[in-house]
Amino acid sequence: MNNKAELVRNDSAGIQLAGKILGTPIKERMTWADFGWDLAAYCEKEGLSMYFLGNEEGIPEKAKKRLQEKYPDLKVVGTHHGFFKKEGEENERIIQEINQLNPDILIVGFGMPLQEKWIRDNRNKLNVGIIMTGGNCFNFLAGTESRAPRWMHENGLEWLYRFLKEPVRMFDRYIIGNPLFFMRVFKQKFFG
């Protein structure tokens, strides 16, 4: 993906484990379920505006409503679902809307790697200060998806919880993707 992000945040227990294996410990894991509410509180306090882009229709609006119930002065200046054509006229119309609303922070929640590709392809067209990847953040913020029990996410098993809840959707990511990821980690460790 070109490694062009200005800041990288770890939201994966697997990345932490890979860091240990490779001798580069990654101390902190920061998921949207962990920091989304804190970010909203900070934005309200500092007067920063946000735009939510992604997920199914209605979910970003529910996230906005739920956050504003707790932080009534939070400025979420716009929302749009993530099921639109990522190029062409429809894409340009959404970029124009974002630019007209001029948010300080744009959160893009299409899931990986689609959100990273969209940001890469459209970054130069967007007039926003900060763009953050959100993955499934709007479901957590909207309250439509629950977090794994504390003992599971503290022990790196949140992936198992998500897989058990949605085995078909998560099969490729966890049953195929995780072993491939760790094969690459061990290849790097032992063969450079």
> Residue ranges of the domains in the chain?
30-145, 148-192
Q: pLDDT for 144-179, tens place per residue?
A: 998 899 999 888 898 899 999 999 989 998 999 999
Residue written as tokens 């309200």?
44
What mean pLDDT, rounded, does the chain reach?
93
Task: Please state, in angstroms and rounded to a whole number, the distance separating the CA atoms of residues 30 and 104.
Answer: 21
For residues 51-57, average pLDDT: 97
Interacting residues of 5 by C-beta distance below 8 A, sequence separation 6+? none
pLDDT of residue 2: 56
Residue written as tokens 């032992």?
190
Q: pLDDT for 61-77, tens place per residue?
A: 999 999 999 999 999 99
pLDDT of residue 147: 87
Q: pLDDT for 13-40, tens place per residue?
A: 888 899 999 999 888 888 888 889 999 9
Band of pLDDT at residue 98, cut at 50, 70 and 90: very high
Phi-psi region of 143 (alpha: psi -120 to 50; beta: other; left: phi over 0): left
CB 148 within 8 A of CB 154: no
* pLDDT above 90 for 141: yes
Residue written as tokens 């990522």?
86
Apex CA 182: angle with CA 177 and CA 185, to 5°? Answer: 130
Multiple choice CATH, 30-145, 3.40.50.2300, 3.10.100.10, 3.60.150.10, 3.40.930.10: 3.40.50.2300
Any bridge partners for residue 108, and if so which?
A: 53, 133
Task: Please state, in angstroms and rounded to a whole number, the distance separating the CA atoms of residues 188 and 165.
Answer: 32
* pLDDT above 60 for 1: no
